[in-house]
Structure 1
């Protein structure tokens, strides 16, 4: 695959929440997204950090598959008649178009990867 101008294909990178260049807020919500790897890089995935204030909720589904790793805090995911709770170090796989809703049980920070890139 050819290297495209502006992409970082073949470059190993390290990310941390403190290195996020810009956090994007969601109007009226204590939710912030810190984009890291974006669709414009022409890669197969997107990656970002997400921060949720205590009690914030977000609806599923998304039109892409995601993996979330809880860094700090805790969240509850209600999906398909099940309730899952995740805390620091837990990894959640959320398939494309999964129905449900997540709630931050406390201030929560996630590392997220989605496929395909969006």
Structure 2
């Protein structure tokens, strides 16, 4: 009887953890982003890399807000929380954190560019 209770409690705990696991945000690859940009002029491209990385090459029209500044940036107030946003970094890791931060702040249509700028096949702008 005691073993059964412990087993049932363990199963309930695991089920609870799976049910309450936050769902990851949406992802978009370079090819999908190119198509998105061709059909939706309202997409906000948000680059969360550092200024020197951004200057070395970024997607034209993207906005730079380094990940460390994202939670206190005044520029975010200019973006409608329901607007489609694609978060970009070098490899897709920092942008995933940025995506989660934006969703936590109430932004609802946020994508992570998988593979980051390293996998981007479209035009690059250098400053």
With structure 1 as the length reference, what TM-score do the two structures score? Answer: 0.28
Q: Could you say which structure has the higher helix fraction?
A: 2
Larger Cα-atom Rg: 2
With structure 2 as the length reference, what TM-score do the two structures score? Answer: 0.26
